[in-house]
Amino acid sequence: MKRIRYGFIVLTMLLCSVTSAEAEVSVFIGAPHVSIGINLPVYPQLVAVPGYPVYYAPRLNANYFFYDGMYWVYQDDNWYASSWYNGPWGFVEPYYVPLFVLRVPVRYYRQPPVYFRGWPQHAPPRWGHHWGPEWEQQRRGWDQWQRGSVPKRAPLPTYQRQYSGEKYPRVEEQHEIRSKQYRYQPREKAVREHFQQLEQRAPAPAQREREEEPRRTSPRQQDDRNGVRSQPQQRGPVIQEQPQQPDAVQREQKGPRSKEQEREEEQERRDKERGRGRN
């Protein structure tokens, strides 16, 4: 039993050492703010695919690419794109994936799906075989091009390296930062259209203020929304309303009285008694 426990401890230490060594490029699964299942803590290392205007991430356990100013990920049999290295990601229909992204050879997929097995490593995936004849008919000629007319690679948006962890910008901030620090515009029509769709998702300044308005509400308004009604704020000491007391106790609490007040009260008491006798 002790040997088993010792072996488990040694194995845990080895795994921790490997994880810490590759923490800067690791892919975290199931992060709460990433819908496609990956989360990059820092800007990934990107290497050019020889002969293609595409970059890939060799140290990531993911099918992660950069082309024409945008990032492309093939995850769970779907394509996603983003203008920032860690999303948010937008779904891309197979009919609209850029041609040169589809043409990347199989060997550059760091997490190839099962159906890639047996396909030539130096050739692109057999998308027509996978997506069917309808797709292949619409994307006819996707795997044929002149090697000498390959466009230049888009410059890498290395300015995003300074935005990692808690410094990673929100969606409404990404467009403004990108427009100031990255002037490249997508060249391919499909990429431009997808880029515009992603940019339109960012809320306008007026909409952003409406979205942030609940953060500026008073504590009472916040409690009312949650079903808990708070008391209005009091200025100065709180004075509570006292219950009504008998006449005799009230007279004692009024303090000392003058003789004239006593005569008036005595006369008032006699008048009351006379009224009772008449009734």
Instruction: Check: CB of residue 93 under 8 Å from CB of residue 191.
Output: no
Per-residue pLDDT of the chain in tens (279 residues, 90 and over written 9) = 544 444 444 444 444 443 333 333 333 323 333 468 888 999 999 999 999 999 999 999 999 999 999 999 999 999 999 999 999 998 999 999 999 999 999 999 999 999 999 999 999 999 999 999 999 999 999 999 888 889 999 999 999 999 999 999 998 899 899 999 998 988 888 788 877 776 666 555 444 444 444 444 444 444 444 443 333 333 333 333 344 444 544 444 445 555 666 777 777 777 666 665 555
Count CB-CB contacts under 10 A for residue 12: 10
Query: Residue type for 206, please?
Result: A
Tokens of 216: 């500026």
Q: State the Cα–Cα distance between residues 255 and 260, nearest whole angstrom.
A: 15
> Which run of H or of E encompasses 72?
strand 70-75
pLDDT computed for residue 213 by the predictor: 47
The pTM is what?
0.62
